Amino acid sequence: MTSHTFVGWQLSETLIDHEQLRDFVIALMKKLGAPEDTSICVADNLVTSNLRGIDSHGVGRLKRYVTGIREGYIVPDAKVDTVIENAVLANVNGNHALGQAVGVYSMSLAIHKALSEGIGVVTAFNSNHYGFAGYYAMMALDQGFIGISMTNSEPLVVPTFGRNAKLGTNPIAMAVPASENNSWVMDQATSVVPSGKLQVYERAGEEIPEGWATDETGHSTTDPTRVLQNLYGGTGEGGILPLGGEGEIHGGHKGYGFATMVDILCGVLSGANYADDVVWSIDNGIKHPNVGHFFLAMDPSFFGDLENFKSRMDDMIERLHQSEKADGETRIFVHGEKEFEEHERREKTGIPLDARTIESLEQFAEEFNIDLEFKE
């Protein structure tokens, strides 16, 4: 057992080697009927999320996928198809596959188009939750490309001045290569927080900060259990607030606009469900959520020498690093920097997992007869 400080509180956590955890997820997905390539997509996405310190989208989400497969709205062995395409555009049918398989297929297609045409834009429909958005944006970095990835999700976010959730947390991710510095990687929900962050606080028995989410009256609450029960317990009341928080005074209407923009590109444009239709059900037959995604890969060398572009990115990053710091502050970060450093640290020391995630993994290990070992 190791005591590890994370997101503002002290937890007693168990460490696990990232390769062992990755092998465990692959084995579990295969036991559930997913082919090897799909299982690898799921495992790499979830474990990379944990490595980067984004525990809200790591292996703590496995139960969601196991449940979806068992209830039939996720089809583990589905084949992803390209419906229509030209030199730079494509629309992909996920056929209700695991979202990670749809995401890797779609972003790979966007990158392929960008290799020959300088840009590739791909939308996808009939998908499921695809993990953390930054994973797909970062796929473009291997080619020196800029990558963008977005997804809609089940209704968890209340519109500004609204009472009930109508939009997803609808993240936007963008990755841009640099030369001497780590790549610039922005990956953020268009809500104040993703739903997984509420679950992290609930698992820790902590209150959430004021302004993160609302109760059934449409006003802010600090009780994560109350919010999650309202969202997932069938009442559909309350929800997470858009980026900027409650009302307009801190720009909540701007987060609301960004969330709607993502839903237009991922849902309305692709042919996927959107707004409060992105839900699943097994009552009276299986209802698939029909999640939609948006991917873009762009070659910056079209606009000039690639190395010069990367050097200019370094210059921009260093200007931010070296700018005047607020009183009492010692460092200014750029997007993705903390995650790259956490990735390096956790590769060496192991990934910390909270007690509830450990319990869930151990139950799967016993049920499916899969080896699971933690660090001493």
Give dist(CA 216, CA 135) in Å, integer.
Answer: 34
For 148-189, the pLDDT digits (tens) are 999 999 999 999 999 999 999 999 999 999 999 999 999 999
Reading the block at residue 47, the tokens are 């474990």
The average pLDDT across 28-37 equals 98
Reading the block at residue 56, the tokens are 């809200």
Computed over every residue of the chain, the mean pLDDT equals 93
Question: How confident is the model at residue 196, as a pLDDT?
Answer: 75
Q: Looking at the chain, how many residues does it have?
A: 376
Query: Which three-class secondary structure state does DSSP give residue 370?
Result: coil
Domains of the chain in start order, with CATH, are 2-302+312-368 (3.30.1370.60)
**Closest-CA residue to 374 (of 338, 340, 349, 343):** 349
Let me know: does 260 contact 167? Beta carbons within 8 Å. Answer: yes
Reading the block at residue 113, the tokens are 């188009």
Number of H-type helices and E-type strands within the chain: 11, 13
Question: How confident is the model at residue 217, as a pLDDT?
Answer: 87
Question: How confident is the model at residue 376, as a pLDDT?
Answer: 67
For 320-374, the pLDDT digits (tens) are 999 999 999 999 999 999 999 999 999 999 999 988 899 999 999 999 999 999 9
Of 61-70, 209-218, 286-295, 337-346, the one with minimum mean pLDDT is 209-218
The average pLDDT across 37-50 equals 98
- Over 50: is that where the pLDDT of 10 sits? no
Diameter of the chain measured on Cα atoms:
60
The count of other CB atoms within 10 Å of the CB of residue 370 is 17
Give dist(CA 210, CA 223) in Å, integer.
Answer: 9
- Over 80: is that where the pLDDT of 1 sits? no
DSSP 248-317: STTSHHHHHHHHHHHHIIIIITTT---GGG---B-TTS-B---EEEEEEEE-GGGGS-HHHHHHHHHHHH
For 243-259, the pLDDT digits (tens) are 999 889 999 999 999 99
Question: How confident is the model at residue 5, as a pLDDT?
Answer: 39
The average pLDDT across 94-110 equals 98
Question: Percent of the chain, pLDDT > 90?
Answer: 83
Q: What radius of gyration, in Å, describes the C-alpha atoms of the chain? A: 20
* Helical segments of the chain, H only: 18-31, 36-51, 62-71, 99-117, 134-139, 195-204, 224-232, 252-263, 306-321, 337-349, 355-368
In sign, the C-alpha dihedral spanning 248, 250, 251, 256 is negative
Q: Confidence band (pLDDT; 50, 70, 90) for 234?
A: low
Question: How confident is the model at residue 41, as a pLDDT?
Answer: 98
- Over 80: is that where the pLDDT of 208 sits? yes
For 272-328, the pLDDT digits (tens) are 999 999 999 887 788 999 999 999 999 999 999 999 999 999 999 999 999 999 999
Q: Tokens 């084949």 correspond to what residue?
A: 79
- Over 60: is that where the pLDDT of 212 sits? yes
Residue 144 CB-half CA count within 13 A: 15
